[in-house]
Amino acid sequence: MKYVVQLYVGGKTFNEEVQAISPKDARETALARNPKAKVVAVNVSFK
């Protein structure tokens, strides 16, 4: 399933699209790609 993880770093927010089996897995994948970021939200993408 595709998830959109909203991240915050350096005073800005941005979205990271990841393929994952659960929201927890999506959060871990996004943080692995952006280790200094903080997770704001994790949502399912139906696009």
Task: Spell out the domain ranges in the chain.
Answer: 2-44
pLDDT tens, residue by residue, 14-44: 999 999 999 999 999 999 999 999 999 999 9
* pTM greater than 0.75: yes
pLDDT at site 3? 98
In our burial notation (b when 16+ CB lie closer than 10 A, e otherwise), range 9-24 reads: eeeeeeebebebeebe
Long-range contacts of 11-20, Cβ-Cβ distance < 8 Å, separation of 24 or more: 13/40, 17/45
CATH topology for the 2-44 domain: Ubiquitin-like (UB roll) (3.10.20)
pLDDT at site 47? 81
